[in-house]
Amino acid sequence: MFTLFGITMGSWAGRIPALREGLGISHATLSMVLLCGGLGALLSHPVSSRLMAAFGPRRTVLIAGQSLLAVLLCIGAAPNVPLLMLAVLMLGVMASCMNVAVQSIATKLEKTTGRSEMSKLHAWGCAGGLMGAALGSVMAGMHVKPFMHYLMLAMPVSLLLKLACDSLDGDDKAEAVEAKVFCLPRGPLIWLGALGFLGSMSEGSIADWSGVYLKDHFQVTDGFAPLALTAFSVMMLVARLCGDRMKARFGARPLVGCGALLSACGLFFAVFAPSALCALAGFAAAGMGLSLLFPFVYSAAGKEGPLAFAGVATMSYTGSLMGPPLVGTLAEVVGMQAAIGFIGSLSLAMALIASRASLLK
pLDDT of 174: 61
Residue 30, in any domain of the structure:
yes
Q: 361 in a domain, yes or no? A: no
Q: Which pLDDT does position 318 carry in this prediction?
A: 76
CA 290/CA 343 separation, integer angstroms = 12
Cβ(287)–Cβ(236) below 8 Å:
yes
For 207-262, the pLDDT digits (tens) are 888 988 998 889 888 778 878 888 888 898 899 988 888 988 898 999 999 999 99
Residue 360 domain-assigned?
no
First to last CA, the chain: 27
Within a domain: residue 219?
A: yes
- 177, part of any domain: no
| Alpha helices per DSSP H over the chain | 2-14, 16-23, 27-42, 45-77, 81-113, 118-141, 146-167, 189-218, 227-250, 252-271, 276-290, 293-303, 306-334, 336-354
| Predicted pLDDT at 56 | 85
Residue 178 is assigned to a structural domain of this protein:
no
Q: For residue 26, what are the contacts with CB-CB under 8 A and spacing of at least 6? A: 332
The whole-number average pLDDT for the span 115-133 is 84
65: Cβ contacts below 8 Å, ≥ 6 apart? 1, 4, 5, 8, 94, 98, 158, 161
Confidence of residue 183 (pLDDT cuts 50, 70, 90): low
**Residue 268 sits in which domain range?**
2-169+183-354
Q: Is residue 155 part of a domain?
A: yes
pLDDT in tens, 73-87: 999 999 999 999 999
Arithmetic mean of pLDDT, 143-147: 90
- Nearest C-alpha neighbor of 341 from the set 159, 213, 187: 213
Query: Is residue 304, in this structure, part of any structural domain at all?
Result: yes
Predicted structure pTM score: 0.77
User: Does position 113 have pLDDT exceeding 60, yes or no?
Assistant: yes
- Quick one: pLDDT at residue 108? 80
pLDDT higher than 70, residue 173: no
| Structural domain total, the chain | 1
Instruction: Report, as an integer, the average pLDDT of 126-151.
Output: 86
Tens-place pLDDT, residues 41-60: 778 878 887 888 888 888 99
pLDDT band at residue 280 under the 50/70/90 scheme: very high
pLDDT score for 287: 93
Q: What is the mean pLDDT of residues 179-190?
A: 67
What CATH number is given to the structural domain containing 38?
Answer: 1.20.1250.20
